[in-house]
Amino acid sequence: DQQVKQNSPSLSVQEGRISILNCDYTNSMFDYFLWYKKYPAEGPTFLISISSIKDKNEDGRFTVFLNKSAKHLSLHIVPSQPGDSAVYFCAASDRGSQGNLIFGKGTKLSVKP
């Protein structure tokens, strides 16, 4: 039973364009959401997060949007760069449960020059 779903296993985008990665969740108790980026043969690295009290958080080229009513969040990367090519994991947490992170399956982003 997946509580965090990333329905697109892969996404291909041209360099300079916008990349939009989507994530849906089912547990209404989740109050903290994170995006991690993972290169092959490396561990996931933190990218950006958002608390449920916000609907948008921006950090440079990366913006995360949260739509609580739809239980949906998205990561926007603009402009996309070839170095952004990686697997992106969405994760959610119910901070009342000691911060246990529930991860989606990941979306592999390929940014073509």
Partner 1 sequence: DTAVSQTPKYLVTQMGNDKSIKCEQNLGHDTMYWYKQDSKKFLKIMFSYNNKELIINETVPNRFSPKSPDKAHLNLHINSLELGDSAVYFCASVAGPVGTQYFGPGTRLLVL
Applying CB under 8 A, which residues contact partner 1?
32, 34, 36, 41-46, 49, 89, 93, 95, 98-103, 105-106
109 strand-pairing partners: 11, 86
* Beta carbon nearer to partner 1, 18 or 23: 23
Cβ-contact 91, 101 below 8 angstroms = yes
- Report in angstroms how near the CB of residue 98 gets to partner 1 at its nearest: 5
- Report in angstroms how near the CB of residue 41 gets to partner 1 at its nearest: 7
- Report in angstroms how near the CB of residue 44 gets to partner 1 at its nearest: 5
Cβ-contact 111, 13 below 8 angstroms = yes
Sign of CA dihedral 90, 14, 55, 67: negative
Helix (H, G, I), strand (E, B) or coil at 80: coil
* Beta carbon nearer to partner 1, 53 or 70: 53
